[in-house]
Structure 1
Amino acid sequence: MSCKRKDFGWAMILLVTTIVFLVILLGVSFIQHKLRRRKDTELRQQFFEKNGGGMLIQRLSGAGPSNADVKIFTEEGMKEATNGYDESRILGQGGQGTVYKGILLDNSVVAIKKARLGDRSQVEQFINEVLVLSQINHRNVVKLLGCCLETEVPLLVYEFINSGTLFDHLHGSLFDSSLTWEHRLRIAVEVAGTLAYLHSSASIPIIHRDVKTANILLDDNLTAKVADFGASRLIPMDQEQLTTMVQGTLGYLDPEYYNTGLLNEKSDVYSFGVVLMELLSGQKALCFERLETSKHLVSYFVSAMKEDRLHEIIDGQVLNEYNEKEIQEATRIALECTRLMGEERPKMKEVAAELEALTVKTTKHKWSNQYTEENEQLIGGHILSAQGDTSSTGYDSIKNVAILDIEAGR
């Protein structure tokens, strides 16, 4: 009996010791978990402050009426949406960071822009972009859904536009360059209207400062969406000019900036003029393969106009016998937008109105041509059946009358 009691006593001691050890182990694990969570929370808070979260909230509260609800996303949500920032999810990379395709928990597809690690200058640009886009409510501006500031570098979340950029369609290899004149003119009208809205109709006037084909996205219907507002600025109504750091892109940058260091709404007008030239010619804004005096697309257009050889640089896919006048008119607008002196350039609302009027002319000409072709078939068939092979003179005469009637009806 004594041996059994002794064994039982040792078993109890071992059991109690094991329980105490497990309790201590669980306690230590719990404390470590709490400390890790506290450390992660403190780290996220540090990132939030370093990424300008407090400044952003302060600016949003004092920037006037907001047109957008900016959602704050979590770090875990961003990792899950991008499958841990997997390389297969990368949509593009550039000077402002990497853009990923993201899938949120509700299965909605978004574009997530991640700033480059170690580039602190981009933090201000990210804050600025949230601030600017929160003031914009326009169908042709890419929509900002929210941001994540608790990561080492800030993240911005946008609506997903899945048909690439205008640059891709005009110059890239992913898309065949099959944009018709009607497509290009409509895109020009949409971008011009958007810039006119930013300059004149937004709650606070906005200068984009980096208008270029790479910052114009296209959706499935080839509807333009102006993007990348990191370099943009909100300006007071009475402030016509804005001193800035170097922004913009070579080939699109207002030449006045090099002399004055100032950017204003006419700087956007200049950049838009270059975009319009790209739409007309299908050529890049800056190309070192062209002649020395024509490396810049603006110089190329100016020399072509002076030498009466504009037809040589207009994209062959858009120029035809019916739209020559519209092409010449659009070229005139592009050249006015890119005048050397900003004060000689039109305002964006004037440009938008002229292009809108040009759209009406193009639509009328398209209808006129279609109507004439149908009349040719109907009238030609009627005359041939009545007069046989002797109807050619009568056909031309009736065709001319039909055209004159349509011209008079305009």
Structure 2
Amino acid sequence: MYPEHHIIKNGHIDRCQVCNSNKLNLILDLGQQPLCDTLLTKEMLDQQETKYPLRMVWCEECSLAQIDYCVDGSVVYHPDYPYRTGITKELVEYQSGISKSLISKYNLKQGDFVVDLGSNDGTLLTGFKDHGMKVLGVEPTNIAKIANQHGVETVQKFFTLKTANEIKNKHGEASLILATNMFAHMATIGEVVSGIEILLKDDGVFVFENHYLLDVIQGGQFDTIYHEHLRTYSLKSLVKLFSYYNFTITDVERGSRYGGNIRVHITKGKNKPVSENVTAMLNLEEKSGLYKLETYMKFADRVKKAKKDFMSFIIKMKEDGKTIVANSCPGRSVTLLNYYGVNPDLIPYIAEQPTSLKLGMFLPGKHIPVVNNEILIKEQPDYVILLAWHYAESIMEQLRARGLKSTFVIPLPDLTVVEN
């Protein structure tokens, strides 16, 4: 069926989630942290918050980075999970590009069946549907209801072997299965990969996209580490993972999403023709030191320096009487602000776009309020910290266009101050 260790049990993890090795090295301890997408209402502020250990460890056998504590998936992906793809314009355009490129690469025809796992509000599938393909989303949270309202058929379930069989019996085999930004998240690796194997037709393709270990390490991006992200893959670790199943990694691409991502193409069946991109990326990983412990130790030092620089800057500006606020509240901001120890007396609010599901809520752990970003234009604070720093250019452009005169602060990979 699938290896027993490909179901990650809740609680402390003492072995590699991919290869089951116990050769794990602690890289970074970010302390006890709340779940990043469990935002708080005003009524919840007085209640005890649950926090869990957040530590990054690295496997020296297969070069997977992972966290060493698994929170129950039904707690992490609670029904009111507040993330919607269709809200960010860049993401909508980007996902439309994914559908076009895959339709062309795999010569997909009208009527071909395309399934998206963790399909959110159905944004990605819309591109395939518009080209005449039969589509189905699988999404465990209430956001599935939004997709169905928008005409993208979506089942509100976790993807398991059982779900895969139900879909296959009802709709037939899929030509293409997608997973953007979810394949590093699930504890049920074995269920998901075996389910994909069942649902795909022979020579069908599974394409997934996630943040990429080389970018995380080279970019000092410790804020991609949170409880949703159980794993941060190197290509080496993915080759190992799929070696347990009837699949071949046939192609791989790098992109700039999430501060640097990897898109992996996996074909059903063994010994399929492999693109030279795969060998090239494995060589690059080795050359970049991704298989050596010292690389990770340097990364940890850089993270600690970024924290020190950030806190020194904010405290000095506060002492000088400057006003400092933050903009954007992505999941990663929770890791950053909780690890740095930033309270509302240092940053009084985080501004979000008017369509955000997070407005009126409070940041887990630090209780900083999330407010409509119109306030930035009205108040013109001295400094605006960009917590979605991986989209800094487009955010600065948008806010300037709306008349914001503030100086921008980009916290990572190294603290940067951008005069307006």
> Is the TM value for this pair above 0.5?
no
Q: Which has the larger radius of gyration?
A: 1
Structure 1 length normalisation: TM-score?
A: 0.26
User: Which structure is higher in helix share?
Assistant: 1
Higher RCO, 1 or 2 (CA under 8 Å, sep at least 6)?
Answer: 2
User: Which structure is higher in strand share?
Assistant: 2
Structure 2 length normalisation: TM-score?
A: 0.26
